[in-house]
Each structure stands twice: as C-alpha cells, then as structure tokens.
Amino acid sequence: MHKLLLKEYPEIKTVYFLSQKLRNIYNNNTDKAIAITKLAHWYNDVEHLGIKNFNTIMNTIKINYNSILNYFDNRSTNASAEMKFMNSFESKLKEFE
C-alpha cells in the first residue's frame, strides 16, 4: 500500500524523501563543513520544489541557522530552537496527509 500511495501521489513521495534527506544530514554528518554544504543543497531542493508549506520550515532554518549549525560542532543542540524547528516541520508534513 505504501508503494501505491507514493506512486499515486508523487508530491508526497518528494516531501517524504526530502524529510528523510534532512534527517540523514543530522544523523550521518559529524563534519560541520560537509553538513553546511548538504544543508544548503537540501534548502535549494526545497526552494525549487515550490511547495508553500515548506516556507515555514525554510524560514525557521534561516532564523535559527547558527544554532542549527552548532549541532555539528559537538552534537549538542539548543533544545528550544530544535523543538521549534521540529514542531514546524511536523505540522507542515501533516498537511500532506
């Protein structure tokens, strides 16, 4: 059923893979320079996608960019910035359901 859903609704597939790509940037990168590059590519992918629901996510990244990047220095986070970002991200993803 999962494959059928993604086949019938390609926008959901794209959004799903973008969310996985962002998750992988955080989980698989320990070098800040690489993470910055991958995050920039992700940001460009989202921007080119043109889905308005992602504007909030992109703005949250812009506002909290330094805090987000600090995570890659010592794998610690600013919990309030992280929660704000994740809540925004999850609420926008739910709009696709």
Per-residue pLDDT, averaged over 8-33, amounts to 84
| pTM exceeds cut of 0.85 | no
Q: b/e per residue, 56-79, with b = 16+ CB within 10 A?
A: ebeebbeebeeebebbbeeeeeee
Return the structure tokens found at 36. Answer: 């910055």
pLDDT tens-digit series, residues 44-86: 888 888 877 777 777 888 888 888 888 777 766 555 555 666 6
31-47 average pLDDT score: 88
Tokens of 73: 């220095």
Residues 8 and 72: their CA atoms lie apart, in Å, by 37
Residue 34 has pLDDT above 70, yes or no: yes
pLDDT at res. 41: 92
Confidence of residue 27 (pLDDT cuts 50, 70, 90): confident
